[in-house]
Amino acid sequence: MKAIPQFKVRKTYEEVSDYIKDQIMNGVYKPGDRLPSLREFSELFGVGQSTMREAISALKTMGLVTIRQGEGTFVTRLNPDEVLSGFEPIQPVTEQDIISLLEVRKIIETGIVQLAAEETF
């Protein structure tokens, strides 16, 4: 069987968060620095504020920024290299991995449907 091609579809918020991550990694934004507001970033990048919220949320999940209610978003005081080391790229998926995943999904979904049917009666 032929190998399945790897497609990489990127969302706008991923592009934005990667750009800001690179800025942090390159020292443009240093630990403790306050980042521009969502509105300022939105205008700078020409994207909507919801896109910026998702980008900042992704950076927060990575541990690169902290959000302080009423104060703003700040670059964490941790070493960015250490933070990002936990996000090493996942190894390419093999055809067998996909088949195994589909088998597990089938088992789980069948069980969920069965439980839902029992709950209705």
Per-residue pLDDT of the chain (121 residues), as tens digits, is 566 666 667 788 899 999 999 999 888 999 999 999 999 999 999 999 999 999 999 999 888 899 999 999 999 887 666 666 665 665 666 778 788 888 888 888 888 888 888 776 5
Q: Give pTM, 2 decimals.
A: 0.60
- My answer on whether 48 and 105 are in the same domain is no
Is 59 among the domain residues? yes
Is 33 among the domain residues? yes
Is 95 among the domain residues? yes
- My answer on whether 22 and 59 are in the same domain is yes
Containing structural domain, residue 97: 90-121
The b-or-e profile of 39-78 (16+ CB within 10 A means b, else e) is eebbeebebeeebbebbbebbeebebbeeeeeeebbbbee
- My answer on whether 17 and 59 are in the same domain is yes
